[in-house]
Structures are given as C-alpha cells and as structure tokens.
Amino acid sequence: MAVHLKFELRPRLKEDGTQPVLLRMTLGKKIARFTLGIYVLGKHWNKNANPAQENWISKKADDWAIVTPRLRNKLRQAEAALMQLEKDGKALDFDVAKQYVEAALQGKSGKQEGGFLFFFKQQIEHIRVAQSQATAVKYTTIYNEISDFLQGSDIKIQDLTLELIHRLEAHWLGKNKRNTVNKKLEQLKAMVSRAIDYGLLEGTKNPFLRYTFKWDKVHKERLTAVEVERIKALDYQSQDRRHDARSVLLFQYYCAGMRVGDAICLRWGNVQGDRLLYRMGKTGTTKSIKLPSQAQAILAQYRKADAKAADFIFPFMRPGLDPEWIEKNRKTATGPSIATINKLLKRVAQDAGIEKNLTTHMARHSFTDHAIKATGDVYAVSRALGHSNITITEAYLARLDEGAVDDTLDTLFGEKKKPDQGPGSLPKKTTRKR
C-alpha cells in the first residue's frame, strides 16, 4: 500500500478572491489534508495537473514563478518525510505518516543525514510512479554507475563537491564521449537539485554552480530535397517492410519533423479531417497541424474501410496496447519498433543510392534545415517542431498559433508554390512578418 500526495484547492474564498492550496495525503481509505499558507486564484488552478510537469497553476498567473517552486518544495518536503519514515524503520501507518509529513511541512523534522545513494534510489522509485518507467530506468543506469564509482559506499549529500564531480567526469570520459558524459552529469545535476528542493543541501553548496558544461559540436546529418524525392520515388510493394519504414520517415518529414515515437503511436482517431491532432510524447503537450497533401497521400495508402479510431495508422506497434500504458512508458513501448524502422531505413538508403546513415531522426533534421531555408522564419519553425522555446531551435540548427505552423508547411510542401516552381523544388526564401 503506497502513500499518495496531491495538491487541491479549498473551496473557501479569501477577500481577494484567492483560495488556499492544500496538500492531500491518501493511504488506503484514509485522507489527511495539510494547509500550506499558499493561495491562488481558482481560474489559474489546474485540477488535472501532472506533478512531473509542475503545471499546478497557469503561467498566466502573475505569481506563477513564485508559487510553482513553493509548491514543488512543499511536495518534496512531504516526500522526504516519508523517505525518512522508511529509513527510521517505522511501519507505514497512517497516523505515523501524518505526523512525519506534518512535522516536515512545519519545518520541525530533522534533516536526513547523509545517504546520497539512498536518496537517489528513493527518487528513482518516485519517478517510476509519478513520471514513467523509461525515465526511472534512465536514472537507474546513472545510479548504478555512480555506485560502482563509489565502490558501493554511500556518501553524505554534503560530500558532493566540485572535486568529486570532476573525478566522476574523468572516470566517465575514459569510457564515453564528451557529450554522453555531459548528459550523465545533467542527470546527476537534476538529482542534486531535488536534494536542494527537499532542504537536504543548501543551494549555495550546489557543486554544479561552479561547473561548466563543454559540449562537442555534433554534425546533424540531413537529407537534401533531391534525396527526399529519391526516397519518395522508390518502387516498393505494399507488403514490403521497407515501404512501411519509408512511409514513416516521409510522414515525419511532411508533418513538421514529427518525432518517430509520436508517428508510430498515431491512431486513426488522431486524424481530424485535413488536420492531425495528437499528444507529443516528449513534452506531453497537444499539437494540431494541417496535413499537407503529401502526408494525406501516405495516409490514403494505409486507410482501410473498416479502420477503427483506436487502430494504429502504421503497422509497427502491437495492436491492442493500452494507450495509457504507452503514454507512461513511451520509450519502452516504442523502442523495439524504432530499432526495426531504422534497420529497414539502412536498406532504403542503399536502394536510393544515398550514402548516409539514414535514421528516423534525420526526417526532423531535414525538415528543420529545409523549413528555415524556405521561410527564413526560425520562430515559426520552432513552433512547427514543437520546441518549448526558440533557443532550442537555434541550437538545433515558442509559442505561435496553429496558423503559423500551417503557413510553414504550406510554404515548404507546395500548397503555396509559385507557378515557376517545379513539383520537387523548394520555394524561394521568404520572410514572414511576426
């Protein structure tokens, strides 16, 4: 039996129209609620918030930047109290758990002494429940590598010094490339930030405050417009698996560089007329785009008269998989299929006479390159790619309305081509007013 923690609003309004935020603890059929001294407007509250996204209140709220970290800290204080209960060897009793959480929220509980690996492992279990199995597995890998580096001996959180970070960095560089090491260190940095949020380490003692990440430049290989046409022109039979892999790649490209994990999880219910409405697995946000004629032609090849809304469009995911399980375990669910597609794409590249390591992600790189050259509008391309902000797009080579994404696709894929442009050419560079 597990303890569940969730924020909720008390119905009672204050004179200024705000409502108190409560932390609800549930164990079995028993419920306890704790006051936090935090107040928000009801119109800004998200009752269906995902703790992993920390989207409890709308970013439109003036105090969003203040309230969000306060809520995060309260939640992690409660979680730390439950971890301490386990470390103290206490039985998971409702009244005992309530006492631990209440004391932690009031700042009366003592800080957990030492045990960074213990803390790390407990957080992995929290991630497994609150976020996803795939994310937990990723952190488990780093946990095991750090445990091996420390030769199985735990250390106090306060012993996470810059010197230790540098030793760990040197250890990993002996086995991995620089960017791979940086990704591992970013995961460690995230875990240190959690410890700070829990009050287990002072923010001024964060070893990463004085650590500088140095990234090696990576060449993101992409297809030329001519190579896209060569892949499109390949003559495959419908039952050929290379045909299916090619279809996924082109569909990604024509649908604004869609991630392959999103593409193979699409169901016919996601197709709404000439639009595609789907939830992006990486960010959890809903995206709506206009389907270019090329993408609609691909769909026409797979649409069956008896197709149901719940049926997968592309034949790579096992039929009948539970949508909620896929959503929570995206990498685990899609990994084998993506590996199969990439293996088939190697043969597609050979058939098209393309001497590049053709992968599904190349569709995203290619769209980015072609769209920026065609439109001259990095901001519109950023929105089309589904990036959270424009700096990601600039590094890869925000928020706009759906029309901006539609305009980018129309310009790139022929809906607005000028008469002198051939069917396989790209439109001349234009600049869209912001």
Sorting pLDDT into bands at 50, 70 and 90, what band is 402? very low
Higher pLDDT, 317 or 221: 317
Higher pLDDT, 87 or 95: 95
Percent of the chain with pLDDT over 70: 83
Beta strands in 254-390 (DSSP E): 271-272, 275-279, 286-290
pLDDT exceeds 50 at position 58: yes
Mean pLDDT within 6-15: 88
Q: Residue 122 contacts by C-beta under 8 Å, 6 or more apart in sequence?
A: 83, 86
- Return d(Cα 359, Cα 18) in angstroms, integer: 51
Burial 30-49 (b: 16+ CB within 10 A, else e): eebebebebbbbeebbeeee
pLDDT exceeds 60 at position 109: no
- Return d(Cα 377, Cα 273) in angstroms, integer: 27
For residue 217, what pLDDT is reported?
A: 76
Mean pLDDT within 215-239: 88
pLDDT exceeds 50 at position 400: no
Query: pLDDT tens digits, residue range 266-296?
Result: 999 999 999 999 888 877 778 888 899 999 9
Q: Mean pLDDT of all residues in the chain?
A: 82
Q: Tokens 């149901």 sit at which residue?
A: 308
**CB 190: neighbour CB atoms within 10 A?**
13
DSSP letters, 244-261, are HHHHHHHHHHHTTS--HH
For residue 227, what pLDDT is reported?
A: 94
Mean pLDDT within 335-356: 94
For residue 407, what pLDDT is reported?
A: 60
- Return d(Cα 359, Cα 222) in angstroms, integer: 10
Nearest CA among 87, 82, 53 for reference residue 68: 53
pLDDT exceeds 60 at position 378: no
For residue 384, what pLDDT is reported?
A: 55
- Return d(Cα 4, Cα 101) in angstroms, integer: 12
Sorting pLDDT into bands at 50, 70 and 90, what band is 382? low
**Run of H or E residues at 37:** strand 30-41
Sign of the Cα pseudo-torsion (207, 209, 215, 221, in order):
positive
Mean pLDDT within 92-116: 75
Lowest pLDDT segment from 55-59, 77-81, 209-213, 328-332: 328-332
Crossing angle for the helix pair 402-412 and 378-385, nearest 10 degrees? 100
Nearest CA among 22, 1, 27, 24 for reference residue 11: 22
Tokens of 139: 């952190």
Tokens of 149: 């580096």
Nearest CA among 126, 97, 109 for reference residue 25: 97
